[in-house]
């Protein structure tokens, strides 16, 4: 079923304050629009829920200079405006050199055309890819219904093996695991000012209608990434069905600080397997403070999916994820990811 876009107002915000005042003025009836690659499709398909109505007004952030800036200072770190496009993340020399896990993740999002339009903020705030959620005829849990159709229906690709609840979707963003691995922070703004939240706290779990902690009058202004200290190994690996453009069946982002073969610090985050980017704490703890070797890597790979509860048709994701974790850690051990 194809619908036309509903009518809406479109407002170009001139600065960060104006975004906040417009969101406040429309009182939950407005949405931020950036590259529009996700939002307009959702509006055409009439996807709405108790906390996410079809917007009557769209507040365009792309004309605000701060939103499209990338600035780096070795002392203070990297700041990226939420309106920076994915292809600019890929092309940025400083990101390629110092934060390469982010550049690798951005390069694996969709197609060139999509990366030219899609933005950092839109990637982090995009909605799930579950076919039932996106279909106008299915009023699933996230849309205010009382059931999840995917548990007994089609769930081979974009559904979870870990941490699922009333909804079994996976978080679709490739950038989120990479940013958590880099210990990034989000800067969120509303008309009262801003708040800084570690990015792993930005995402909600499976029993919420929305996927982020943003309030209706609030938006994502900027991402901050601290300078990485010491020698780091960074890697993002992703498996998908169509290599030309597809969401992750499973992905892993890892950032490790290595000294004399000993892993002093490790942040490892899985994508495509849980309703939110999944930090593999147990696997991290096995590796941290130890000399890395193949046996330890195999054990950490097992630990990374401990507690997995695959659905009837996505059990293959368990082994797939273990394999990706092994490859990621091996590339760090062998210095390939340096
Ligand atoms: C064919 C296709 C393939 C794709 N493949 C992948 C993939 O492999 N990996 C992957 O990670 N993603 C993939 N995506 C998703 C894609 O990355 C997102 O559609 C894109 O990044 C969204 O950015 P945008 O600027 O277009 O967002 P928009 O469509 O403008 O907005 C998306 C949502 O985010 C909100 N929003 C946007 N910016 C802000 C902000 N600053 N503050 C608060 N809310 C905001 C909007 O209100 C809206 O709800 C794919 C999408 C398509 C259509």
Mean pLDDT for 176-197 is 98
- Tell me, using a 6 A CB cutoff, whether residue 119 lines ligand 1: yes
Q: Averaged over 252-258, what is the pLDDT?
A: 96
pLDDT of residue 244: 85
- pTM for this model (two decimals): 0.97
CA distances from 211 to 9, 203, 243, 247, 275 (A): 25, 6, 26, 17, 8
Which residue's CA lies nearest to atom 36 of ligand 1? 122
Evaluate if residue 215 carries a pLDDT over 70.
Answer: yes
Rounded Cα distance, 13 and 139, in Å: 33
For residue 61, which atom of ligand 1 is closest to its CA?
Answer: 41
Q: Which percentage of the chain shows pLDDT scores above 90?
A: 92
- 219 in ligand 1 pocket by Cβ < 6 Å? yes
C-alpha 157 to ligand 1 mean position (Å): 19
57 CB within 6 A, ligand 1:
no
Report the pLDDT value the prediction gives residue 148, as an integer from 0 to 100. Answer: 97
The encoded tokens of residue 179 equal 């940013």
pLDDT at 338 over 60: no
Residue 13: C-alpha distances to residues 54, 268, 317 (Å): 20, 37, 43
- For 16-64, the pLDDT digits (tens) are 999 999 999 999 899 999 999 999 999 999 999 888 889 999 999 999 9
Lateral strand order in the sheet of 278-279? 232-239, 250-259, 262-271, 278-279
Q: Name the residue of 51, 112, 126 to mutate for ligand 1: max ligand atoms within 8 A of Cβ.
A: 126
Q: Is the CB of 36 under 6 A from ligand 1?
A: yes
Rounded mean pLDDT, 243-259 = 95
Query: What is the reported pLDDT for 1?
Result: 60
38 lines ligand 1 (CB under 6 A): yes
pLDDT above 70 coverage of the chain, percent: 99
63-67, 117-121, 259-263: least confidently modelled range: 259-263
């Amino acid at each position: 079923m194809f619908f036309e876009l509903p009518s809406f107002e479109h407002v170009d915000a001139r600065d960060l304050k104006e975004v906040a005042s417009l969101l406040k003025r429309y009182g939950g009836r407005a949405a931020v629009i950036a590259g529009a690659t996700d939002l307009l499709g959702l509006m055409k398909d009439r996807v709405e829920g108790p906390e996410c109505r079809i917007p009557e007004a769209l507040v365009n952030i792309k004309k605000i200079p701060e939103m499209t800036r990338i600035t780096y200072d070795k002392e203070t770190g990297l700041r990226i405006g939420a309106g920076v496009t994915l292809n600019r993340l890929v092309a940025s020399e400083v990101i390629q050199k110092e934060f390469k896990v982010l550049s690798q993740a951005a390069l694996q999002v969709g197609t060139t055309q999509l990366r030219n339009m899609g933005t950092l903020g839109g990637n982090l705030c995009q909605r799930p890819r579950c076919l039932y959620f996106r279909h106008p005829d299915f009023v699933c849990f996230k849309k205010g219904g009382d059931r999840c159709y995917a548990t007994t229906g089609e769930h081979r690709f974009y559904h979870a093996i870990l941490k699922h609840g009333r909804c079994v979707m996976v978080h679709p963003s490739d950038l989120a695991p990479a940013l958590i691995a880099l210990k990034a922070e989000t800067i969120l703004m509303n008309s009262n000012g801003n708040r800084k939240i570690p990015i792993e706290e930005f995402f909600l779990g499976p029993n919420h209608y929305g996927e982020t902690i943003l309030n209706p009058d609030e938006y994502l202004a900027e991402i901050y990434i601290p300078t990485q200290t010491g020698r780091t190994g960074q890697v993002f690996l992703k498996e998908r069905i169509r290599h030309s453009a597809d969401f992750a069946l499973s992905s892993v982002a890892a950032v490790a600080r290595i000294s004399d073969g000993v892993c002093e610090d490790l942040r490892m985050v899985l994508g495509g397997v849980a309703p939110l980017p999944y930090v593999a704490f147990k696997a991290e703890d096995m590796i941290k403070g130890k000399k890395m070797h193949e046996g330890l890597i195999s054990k950490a790979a097992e630990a990374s999916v401990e507690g997995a509860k695959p659905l009837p048709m996505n059990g293959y994701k368990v082994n797939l994820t273990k394999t990706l974790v092994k490859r990621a850690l091996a590339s760090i051990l062998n210095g390939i990811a340096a």
